[in-house]
């Protein structure tokens, strides 16, 4: 599986699933899924050791394009990763709340 839809992601998120936000810091500060960990796509190569290896990684960006690229790379590297279809924009459009600022919560 390469992607998860917003409804499925909302269920996983509510259960405490790991969320990796690969947008740039300015985008993250403007609004992100609660609990999402920021590792910009441009820094992923240097920070991949920070990612969990014991569960699924839900990769999110603004619309789903960058997250698909990152998901494919993570899967090739042996991670259990899926892209959140629609991204943070889809999350917002579904009426879900976002957090602003650098704090993940």
CA distances from 66 to 1, 3, 14, 37 (A): 16, 12, 23, 15
Given 33, 39, 60, 61, the catalytic residue: 61
- Degrees, nearest 5: CA angle 102-52-81: 95
To which residue do tokens 């892209």 refer? Answer: 83
The radius of gyration of the chain's CA atoms, rounded to the nearest angstrom, is 12
Active site residue 61: yes
CA atoms within 13 A on the CB side of 31: 11
Enumerate the active-site residues.
Answer: 61
């Amino acid at each position: 599986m390469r992607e998860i839809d917003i409804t499925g992601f909302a269920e996983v998120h509510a259960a405490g699933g790991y969320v990796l936000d690969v947008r740039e810091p300015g985008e993250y500060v403007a609004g992100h899924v609660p609990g999402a960990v920021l590792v910009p796509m441009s820094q992923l190569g240097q920070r991949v050791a920070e990612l969990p290896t014991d569960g699924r990684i839900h990769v999110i960006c603004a619309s789903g394009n960058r997250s698909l690229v990152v998901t494919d790379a993570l899967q090739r590297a042996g991670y259990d990763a899926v892209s959140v279809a629609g991204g943070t924009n889809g999350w917002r459009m579904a009426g879900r709340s976002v957090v602003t600022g650098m704090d993940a919560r």
